Structure 1
Amino acid sequence: MANEVSVRNLVDAMGLTVLIGKEYLDDKKITTSDISRPGLELTGYFNFYPKERIQLFGMTEHAYANGLTHENRQVVMDQLATDQTPCFVVSNDLDVPLELLEIVKERHIPILISKLTTSRLSSNMVNYLEARLSERQSIHGVLVDIYGLGVMITGDSGVGKSETALELIRRGHRLIADDRVDVFQKDEETLVGEAPAILKHLLEIRGIGIIDIMNLFGAGAVRDDTDISLIIHLENWSPDKQFDRLGNGEEFVKIFDVNLPKISVPVKTGRNLAIIIEVAAMNFRAKTMGYDATKVFEDNLNGLIQTNSKKD
């Protein structure tokens, strides 16, 4: 888990223009995804000023600041610009008050400019910071995008996860992470998975070694991250183990606060795991869209029983 993000990272990710303080971008750190719009502070109310947050100036703050006297702006800007303030961000390509320019030069605080509207800019920054600052959990497995569905393949070491992922890639699907998946919670219902930087776009195949999927199959064969929708757990087949045959048994794995559906697939000589996982993903998507083949089978079976009962 990253507990801070540099202002330079924010500038690069958001495409912001640095008006002042380019030399301080690496030194200034952001530690919270919350954004402050200092409307009350411009009126002189600083009892609960969140000085550790990004200070975002939009049309409202800009208009109110322009209505203040020069002396009042100096007082307010002096209180806004603290040692803990990571940066000031101004939306809509607005002009920056001269009083703020003077004080941030003295205190080495960057001012960043964006052409985006305040709401859009705020939303983009919050989403980016929440992803970068979120708690992360590392899970042993392979994450693949199958028809736009994030499927995490888990199982014991040597069961064939990477080989199965390679076949899925050959079938047109995309690799996100092999061996280790870094997972973080985006919101109350969504988990996102990505590869650690050192493993990005790489796949390990026993007997061959490390292969670069992007180099071998092209940019269309990889993704940086994806929402995780389904876990498929590969298990070595055993006659003592009971596997779901009708598809009416539901399993879930809780990661952070999200319950992910899990399907256990037996691994046995002669089974084409890539096709099975591909079909499992398609069937899962069909269920989320309201079509359940198991229910169709049960309805057909009940209809057949009723028909036979009438004949008797």
Structure 2
Amino acid sequence: MTESVLVEELVNELRLEVLSGLDYLDRIIVTSDVSRPGLELTGYFNYYSHDRIQLLGRKEITFAQQMTEDERRMVMKRLCTKDMPVFVIARELEAPKELLEAANAAQIPVLRSVLSTSRISSLITNYLEAKLAERLSIHGVFVDVYGLGVLIQGDSGIGKSETGLELIKKGHRLIADDRVDVFREDENTLIGEAPRILEHVMEIRGIGIIDVMNLFGASAVRKRAQVQLVVYLENWNKETNFDRLGGSPEMVRMANVDVPKITIPVKTGRNVAIIIEVAAMNFRAKTMGYDATKNFEEKLRNLIEDNSDTK
């Protein structure tokens, strides 16, 4: 099923003024591309992108003002196809009356923004790309730890939600519990958020559903974040060889984006929340150029060389 966004959602998100068509805000937008109909105003409709938002800035409005009323009426009518979602006018410019008439006849809303044409175009595109992106549903708990998006995964019953709850009590923020919707923002960026029905809530065995924002305040939740680190919780097994030096991290691929993954063994007495905090800080230190493992290996190599020289 093709993803879509209602014009009403765009109005609310970007705080756009509705000039006309208040009753038609249920029209759907199916593409994030925005078109500026400059050529169309001259009468050239061979490649008219009729399924896109039509954005009119100073150039388009000024050009339209130089046309005759009959020319404007004819062009505006041709712009109003059955699948064209909405007109947006930038810079609080005055909408031509012929546009309002044609849009109203075709039941197409006309919106207006105070922002510049390039700015509102960028905001519309970014918003629609995020809303229309193909989403992948992943099992886990997604938390913001020191500004780092950490996805906690593991077998059912291992304590993912309980660990997430402890992190929230320590001042970190919940993004999603149990199910995380992820989508690719660009070639290297993966964004995670909660499905709408699961926003701000967690399921804790023995207690049930809790509302994190209601219990801990608005500062304890976050709407979405970049998935930067995957932490996999695995039951402790003495036969399993867990990484002790923290060399090159394993990578896990989600929505065609590679994300670093570390595995943390879980057993009685281990404070997993503190370990995840340290893992997040250590990961951030690596991204800033400091690698404790490499530093240790360098010191060890120097020590070996020094001992060799003294023999």
TM-score normalized with structure 1 length: 0.98
How far 1:301 sits from its partner (Å)?
0.3
Taking the aligned partners of 1:233 and 1:253, their CA distance within structure 2 comes to 11
Taking the aligned partners of 1:109 and 1:249, their CA distance within structure 2 comes to 54
Residue in 2 that maps onto 1:126: 125
Taking the aligned partners of 1:179 and 1:3, their CA distance within structure 2 comes to 23
How far 1:2 sits from its partner (Å)?
6.1
Taking the aligned partners of 1:2 and 1:187, their CA distance within structure 2 comes to 20
How far 1:13 sits from its partner (Å)?
0.8
How far 1:99 sits from its partner (Å)?
1.4
How far 1:69 sits from its partner (Å)?
2.2
Residue type matched to 2:22 in 1?
K
How far 1:159 sits from its partner (Å)?
0.6
Residue in 2 that maps onto 1:100: 99
Residue in 2 that maps onto 1:156: 155
How far 1:287 sits from its partner (Å)?
0.3
**What CA deviation, in whole Å up to 9, does each residue of 1:99-150 have, x standing for no partner?**
1111112111110010011111011111111111111011000000001110
Taking the aligned partners of 2:261 and 2:59, their CA distance within structure 1 comes to 48
Q: Which moved more, 1:56-65 or 1:282-291?
A: 56-65
Q: Which moved more, 1:95-104 or 1:48-57?
A: 95-104
**Identity percentage over the alignment?**
61
TM-score normalized with structure 2 length: 0.98
Residue in 2 that maps onto 1:82: 81
**What CA deviation, in whole Å up to 9, does each residue of 1:188-231 have, x standing for no partner?**
11111111122111111111111111111111111111111100
State the superposition RMSD in angstroms. 1.0
Residue type matched to 1:252 in 2?
M
Residue in 1 that maps onto 2:202: 203
Residue in 1 that maps onto 2:115: 116
Are 1:2 and 1:134, in contact at CA under 8 Å, matched by a contact in 2? no
Corresponding residue SS for 1:145: strand
Taking the aligned partners of 1:40 and 1:290, their CA distance within structure 2 comes to 50
Q: Which moved more, 1:79-88 or 1:66-75?
A: 66-75
Alignment of 1:1-312 (within 5 A): 3-26=3-26, 28-312=27-311
For structure 2, the 5+ residue unaligned runs are none
Are 1:183 and 1:194, in contact at CA under 8 Å, matched by a contact in 2? yes
For structure 1, the 5+ residue unaligned runs are none
Q: Which moved more, 1:205-214 or 1:65-74?
A: 65-74
Q: Which moved more, 1:13-22 or 1:195-204?
A: 195-204
Residue type matched to 1:8 in 2?
E
Are 2:6 and 2:25, in contact at CA under 8 Å, matched by a contact in 1? yes
How far 1:71 sits from its partner (Å)?
2.3
Corresponding residue SS for 1:181: strand
Corresponding residue SS for 2:192: strand
How far 1:249 sits from its partner (Å)?
3.4
Taking the aligned partners of 1:66 and 1:291, their CA distance within structure 2 comes to 60
**What CA deviation, in whole Å up to 9, does each residue of 1:260-311 have, x standing for no partner?**
0000110111110000000000000000000000010011001101110110
Taking the aligned partners of 2:107 and 2:201, their CA distance within structure 1 comes to 41
Corresponding residue SS for 1:220: helix
Residue type matched to 1:25 in 2?
L
